[in-house]
Amino acid sequence: MRLSPKKIAIMAAAGLAVAIIPAAPALAMPVCGDTLLVNTTLTADLTCAGNALKIGAAGIILDLGGFKITGNGTGIGVDDNGFGNVTIRNGTINNFATGMNFFGANVATLSRLTVVGSTFGLDSQFSNDIKVSGSEFRGTTARLRMNSMRPVFSKVLFRSTKVQLSEANDSQFVTNDWLDSSLDSFESDNARVTDNAFVRSFVDYHTTSRNWQVQNNVFRATTIGLTIGATSFGGQIINNQFINNNLGIFTNVGNLAEIDGTAISGNTFVNNGAAGVLFNSAAITGAPKIRITSNQFIHNGFTPAGRTDRLGRPVLDGLHTATTAGSLVYIGGNVTTVNARYGIFSDPGTVVDAGGNETIADPSGCLGVVCV
């Protein structure tokens, strides 16, 4: 126990012996190549050629103190090889080959960081439960791969940044801003993408990325807002807005069974150049069910930029499907308004009319389903 000056004076006046414990010395500012064994706060910028700092124990807090760690385009800014429960916060990591590297390092909290210019701003392998909040990634790639499970990104600005998931199940992206950026998923199941704003940015989940939930997001001013790819069934695309893209949603699979259970529901598609949704599928195995229901398609198809479906036909509609006879693609409860050609275009006999579709001032009305 350290005594206050007042208590020391009282005890001295009473003739009592006083043991004064000196204050612990301040930790020295780390230098390039240091391994951190205790909590560390930077007191100045740190510029390194090659590797900067390495985490050497579990539970370490690295506070950048508002300063920068800057590299020369090589090495690693902060390297964690196997130590968990680490916190990195409050500063900038700039211009490394890899800004932050986690290998077998479970549980990391990254907050109030600006990660700029590195080839990989974040690279995670075999590292579960990495949580990033209140940060910015700019001009870089964030890569979560090889069984890096349950990453969470919240209130992050992605600017000119690629986020790549590979075997990274149960990812969450909540309330982030994306500018000129992308989220690409390979073999990563159960992602949740909620309340994000995508501007000139897109999401592409494919190659066994199953049971995605994409909800309450805005996709604006990109070529394709959301692409649903091969062997990625069970996606729930709910209550999003797709505005001023060439396509809002694009599916292009060889067999409907690859996206069995997908639901596109409650979304709004406005001013998309070719279509709100372009749905391509060439074959059917079994009885896969797809639902396209309760969406609004408003003023799409007026600038198609040469977009065609899988059969080479022009796409300039609200909803455009090019699938196989007998497909269980349920289309119901959609409202289409002032689209360039059809509100809903489907070859007769290729979809299931679930009823309740409505067309308002679409020049060609609807094809393949009844619209009132």
Tell me, yes or no, whether 210 lies in a domain.
Answer: yes
Predicted confidence (pLDDT) per residue in 158-211, tens digit: 999 999 999 999 999 999 999 999 999 999 999 999 999 999 999 999 999 999
Provide the token pair at 359: 């067309």
| Average pLDDT of span 280-292 | 96
The DSSP symbol for 57 reads S
Residue 339 phi, psi (nearest 5): -85, 165
Q: What's the predicted TM-score (pTM) here?
A: 0.92
Stronger pLDDT, 234 or 21, i.e. the higher one: 234
Tell me, yes or no, whether 285 lies in a domain.
Answer: yes
Closest CA to 345 of 368, 325, 314: 368
At residue 27, the pLDDT reads 58
Task: Give 249's strand partners.
Answer: 226, 277
Tell me, yes or no, whether 283 lies in a domain.
Answer: yes
- Alpha-carbon distances, residue 233 vs 41, 192, 206, 352 (angstroms): 46, 14, 9, 19
State the pLDDT confidence band at 5, using cuts at 50, 70 and 90: very low
Residues spanned by the domain of 341: 189-372
| Average pLDDT of span 203-222 | 98
Tell me: pLDDT of 49 over 80. Answer: yes
| Average pLDDT of span 40-63 | 98
State the pLDDT confidence band at 253, using cuts at 50, 70 and 90: very high
Tell me: pLDDT of 22 over 60. Answer: no
| Average pLDDT of span 344-350 | 97
Give the count of domains, the chain. Answer: 1
Tell me, yes or no, whether 335 lies in a domain.
Answer: yes
State the pLDDT confidence band at 28, using cuts at 50, 70 and 90: confident
Tell me, yes or no, whether 361 lies in a domain.
Answer: yes
Tell me, yes or no, whether 85 lies in a domain.
Answer: no
Tell me, yes or no, whether 43 lies in a domain.
Answer: no
Predicted confidence (pLDDT) per residue in 111-125, tens digit: 999 999 999 999 999
| Average pLDDT of span 314-341 | 97
Provide the token pair at 42: 């930077």
State the pLDDT confidence band at 9, using cuts at 50, 70 and 90: very low
Tell me, yes or no, whether 254 lies in a domain.
Answer: yes
At residue 279, the pLDDT reads 97
| CB distance 69 to 48 below 8 Å | yes
Residue 86 CA, distance from chain mean position: 22
Provide the token pair at 64: 């950048």
Task: Tell me the residue length of the chain.
Answer: 372
At residue 64, the pLDDT reads 98
